[in-house]
Amino acid sequence: MNRELNQIVEKQFFSIKDKNFTLQCGKSLKDITIAYETFGRLNAKKNNAILILHALTKDSHAAGIYDHKDEKPGWWDVMIGPGKAIDTDIYFVICSNILGGCMGSTGPASIMPGKKRPYGMNFPMVTITDMVRVQKRLIDHLKIEKLLAVTGGSLGGMQVLEWSVRYPDMMESAIPIATTMKHSALSIAFNEVARQAITSDPNWNNGNYSQEKKPDMGLSVARMIGHITYLSDKSMRLKFGRKMQDKKDAPFTFDSKFQVESYLKYQGQKFVTRFDANSFLYITKAADYFDLEEQHGDGSPVDSFLNAKARFLVISYSSDWLYPTSESKAIVNALKKNRLDVSFCEIESEWGHDAFLLQDKRLDKMIKGFLASVYEKTEDN
């Protein structure tokens, strides 16, 4: 990475001072803080703003670096920046850490108002709807009446869909990537096994763990489980196959002999240094509870989008078995039956669900062209 070419960004914080911010579950929160970052500049017309919505384990740091000592840039730096697909020389980009997260936003690890201890499992259950309602308050705070686009992949894509039907007059376009209107039984099952790994860790202590004694083993295993679902069979065969770490090692032991075993352990160990176990529980449960059809369509995918007005670009990946192309096609079908302007593309890829996070000229070209077309139309109006 050439650090000199990366944009320097700063994490900012927005506070909601409502005495009681009522959540979908019926409970309320006080003094909500949301961490966010912005890239580029808002123009005089305020018609160039794009909201980026992050996936499960990401955060507000979507692009750029905090200083020139940073080892790596934000999680979607391949997409966001000067001259890139989401061009910060043209657009004003906003990305916030979701409610329930652990990267500066209010979540289970936050200190309870009037107390000296974290919420832990006293944190109320949050939903995708709650996350989107808080994001809307942030956009209001920034005095932006209408977003040029709202985009994100995976869990971020669920938020895009919720935005499109909850605040249809606040967005020109929507780009949901590798996502779904509701989790399948398979997705819920993987999430539940990951949660069980955390709650079975002796250090979890019903969510009342200390920073010195955290459920690292459980969280590490949860990450390993999740990471398998983000890849594809072909990508794992190409990258690892049945390669051994060191063929000179003594055979027939339970040590991590295969490269894929060591890779997963590394991913798990790295994850525990930056993520909170309770946040993982809450966010995965929010994803499982998400059901656009039930909440907005009374069980009908077509009726789910009755309020939507945005122009859509829906993108899926051929090797994504977590949220397969059939899920995206169901979204497209529902949008078309509502006579909405929708484009769709399945990108041929061998890298599985996480492909949207990788450099891809096809994705760049699609998003760059789509945004330019939407922006041109707003400039003409």
C-alpha distances in angstroms, 122 versus 28, 157, 302, 378? 12, 28, 37, 45
CB-based burial label for 163 (10 Å; 0-12, 13-18, 19+): buried
Report the amino acid identity of residue 33: T
- The terminus-to-terminus CA distance of the chain in angstroms comes to 40
SS (H, E, C) 148-189: CEEEEECHHHHHHHHHHHHCHHHECEEEEECCCCECCHHHHH
What helix, strand, coil percent values describe the chain, rounded to 5? 40, 15, 45
Looking at the DSSP bridge assignments, the partners of residue 171 are 147
CB-based burial label for 378 (10 Å; 0-12, 13-18, 19+): middle
Tokens for 268?
């798990």
C-alpha distances in angstroms, 224 versus 143, 195, 203? 41, 12, 18
The residue with tokens 């209107």 is 181
C-alpha distances in angstroms, 30 versus 107, 116, 222, 281, 335? 12, 15, 30, 21, 37
CA angle 132, 134, 136 (to 5 degrees): 70
| 160 within 8 A of 152, measured Cβ to Cβ | yes
Looking at the DSSP bridge assignments, the partners of residue 258 are 244
C-alpha distances in angstroms, 165 versus 43, 161, 323? 26, 7, 21
Q: Where are the beta strands (DSSP E) in 21-82?
A: 21-22, 28-29, 32-39, 49-53, 80-81
Active-site residues: which are they?
154, 320, 353
